[in-house]
Chains A and B, each alone.
Chain A
Amino acid sequence: MARISSFKSCLGALALASLSLIASRAAQADATLNRIKGRQKLTVGIILSGAPFGYIDPQSRAEKGFNIDLARALAEKLGVKVELVTVTPPNRVQFLQQGKVDILIANMQFTEDRAKIMDHVQTPYDRAGGAALGRKDSGIKDWADLKGKPVCISQGSNYAQPLADTYGAAVKGIPSQPESMLALQGGNCVVAVHVAPTIKLLLADRPNEWKDYAVIIPTELEPADSVIWLRKGERDTGAALDAAVRDLHASGAMLEMAKANRLVDPTFIEEARRTYAAPAKP
């Protein structure tokens, strides 16, 4: 009897969950662009994982960073105001699917798994890979040296799978990057792997605190395109944003934003500028 009732409640939960999913998906059928225009507002889900991408400015208490500047620039291109919603790895996709945000600029690189449940703006705004921060005397020189060693990442990073599957590292997912850095300093892992620009900026900004540490593996892990994510099937929104992103690349505005936010190595954006600024064939 108990077994039957628990099975029923399980079914009930599933049915409820699926109903809400279907309802939320049906209600948004490709209407995002109309909604953005109608409300005169672009709602962007951003992640505040640290400089240079997204952080709270200690003085003004306002959100700052490259992702935030990009959100503002896109809204300006569409001729609407911007509304920022802070998201976290566990809630970002739900926020998008439930319509709480129109798009996500949340440090989410392109992966096949993500492309199954969401659409993305074709033109990437940046390209980022993982850098390994570790003690200079750790003796680690290559990703393969991490086999069996504890490696700290932040929960929500895409590096867990390649580190564990390809290199056999013992991956430890710590809630966020600052805590992962603390775990590295405490000796709980041999290296911490995070998006390269954040690590390079940290080393540049706090040379004293990190004098025994460096990016000890010369190559980057899994460099992938950083793209803007939107709900499945929203072609019009995707096309409008794609044009805006190309425009930002071509005009050099993207590069300016990168420099203003001190992205230490904006090679990709520089290349993108040359690509998109090339005059189209008549």
Chain B
Amino acid sequence: MIDHAVRTFIALAGEIGLHYDFLASPSEVRPWIAGMGTTLLLILLAIPLSLAAGVAFAAALTSGRPWLAGPVRTYVELTRNTPTLVQLMFAFFALNMLLSKALGGAANNPFTPFFWVVAVTGLHIAAFHAEALRGGIEAVPAAMVETAHAIGFSGFEVLRYVTLPLALRTAMPAIVNNLVNLVKLTTIGSAIAVGEVTYASIMIWTQRDNVLELMIVILLFFGLINTALSQIGRYVERRLAVPGYGV
């Protein structure tokens, strides 16, 4: 049934000059479908990592403690101002190689290329989350923070119960923006042979030279993921809205 549908599709696409013949070859389709799965897995792991690290960075930046804010500020600037691809190459080819040497050979190194993609994209986007949240935290009226302190909240409690919940609401659109970027950023995994969907497509089109055909699928694939992501973002935004607060 599926076989028949695939063959009909290949024939139809062939009519208009598009070569989807690879769909009939299981040894090529399997890694390609697995590539879509790997992309989704990368996204599912990198999003929570970026959010957790982003909140931690924002808390450090607004903590008022120079020994905490200073290093994080340096990290955020360094990460925001350098290309992610370069960071990934550096992490994988330089850091990873040094780690292998320190651990006595590549066989003992537990860090896979997959790990480096999640870490680099997640922590890269975390820097952007941190800046968005910092803006939100600083936008909370000083009187409100003062009141919280006056009724006995500690610094952490103020962050946890007063500033962060409000900052999250202000920063929501920016955070969703960052997450959409993160989804697209996972494609750099192809540079270090992580089998996500662009890598799987590259491996097919270098054999068959059907770049256009696969590009169409990749565009639709990421288009769908990000449409879903921004819908979820908008839903969360509506749910969190505080009537009368303006966010």
* Residues in A lying within 8 Å of B, measured CB to CB: 6, 10, 13-15, 17-18, 21-22, 25, 89-94, 111, 113-114, 116-118, 152, 155-158, 160-161, 164-165, 171-175, 179, 182-183, 185-188
Q: How far is the CB of B33 from chain A (nearest CB, A)?
A: 16
Neighbouring B residues of A174 by C-beta, 8 Å:
191-193
> B19 interface residue, CB < 8 Å from A?
yes
Q: How far is the CB of B111 from chain A (nearest CB, A)?
A: 11
| Cross-chain contact A90 with B18 (CB below 8 angstroms) | no
Going nearest first, the 7 A-B pairs with the smallest beta carbon separation are: A187-B106, A18-B16, A172-B193, A93-B209, A186-B97, A21-B17, A156-B206
CB within 8 Å for A13 and B193 given contacts A155-B202, A155-B203: no
Neighbouring A residues of B192 by C-beta, 8 Å:
174, 183
Q: How far is the CB of B104 from chain A (nearest CB, A)?
A: 11
Secondary structure at chain A's binding surface: helix, strand, loop or mixed?
helix
> B100 interface residue, CB < 8 Å from A?
yes
| Cross-chain contact A183 with B93 (CB below 8 angstroms) | yes
Task: Indicate which residue in B107, B203, B209 contacts A114 across the interface (CB closer than 8 Å).
Answer: B209
> B199 interface residue, CB < 8 Å from A?
yes
Neighbouring A residues of B113 by C-beta, 8 Å:
188
Task: Indicate which residue in A13, A15, A90 contacts B211 across the interface (CB closer than 8 Å).
Answer: A90
Within residues 63 to 118 of chain B, which ones have a CB less than 8 A from any CB in chain A? 89, 93, 96-97, 100, 105-107, 109, 113
- 9 A-B pairs in the complex with CB atoms less than 8 angstroms apart: A93-B211, A157-B206, A160-B207, A161-B207, A175-B190, A183-B193, A185-B97, A186-B93, A188-B96
Q: How far is the CB of A26 from chain B (nearest CB, A)?
A: 11
| Cross-chain contact B100 with A186 (CB below 8 angstroms) | yes
| Cross-chain contact B216 with A18 (CB below 8 angstroms) | no
> B205 interface residue, CB < 8 Å from A?
yes
| Cross-chain contact B199 with A187 (CB below 8 angstroms) | no
Neighbouring B residues of A25 by C-beta, 8 Å:
17
Q: How far is the CB of B236 from chain A (nearest CB, A)?
A: 19
Rounded to whole angstroms, the CA-CA distance of A173 and B27 in the bound complex is 16
CB within 8 Å for A164 and B100 given contacts A93-B209, A173-B193: no
Task: Indicate which residue in A93, A160, A188 contacts B106 across the interface (CB closer than 8 Å).
Answer: A188
Task: Indicate which residue in A13, A21, A160 contacts B206 across the interface (CB closer than 8 Å).
Answer: A160
> B34 interface residue, CB < 8 Å from A?
no
| Cross-chain contact A21 with B203 (CB below 8 angstroms) | no
| Cross-chain contact B212 with A17 (CB below 8 angstroms) | yes
Task: Indicate which residue in A10, A21, A117 contacts B209 across the interface (CB closer than 8 Å).
Answer: A117
List the B residue with the shortest CB-CB distance to A19: B16
| Cross-chain contact B211 with A158 (CB below 8 angstroms) | no
Neighbouring B residues of A15 by C-beta, 8 Å:
16
Rounded to whole angstroms, the CA-CA distance of A113 and B204 in the bound complex is 11
Rounded to whole angstroms, the CA-CA distance of A6 and B220 in the bound complex is 9
| Cross-chain contact B18 with A17 (CB below 8 angstroms) | yes
Rounded to whole angstroms, the CA-CA distance of A113 and B209 in the bound complex is 8
List the B residue with the shortest CB-CB distance to A15: B16
Task: Indicate which residue in B202, B208, B220 contacts A173 across the interface (CB closer than 8 Å).
Answer: B202
Neighbouring B residues of A17 by C-beta, 8 Å:
18, 212, 216
> B219 interface residue, CB < 8 Å from A?
yes
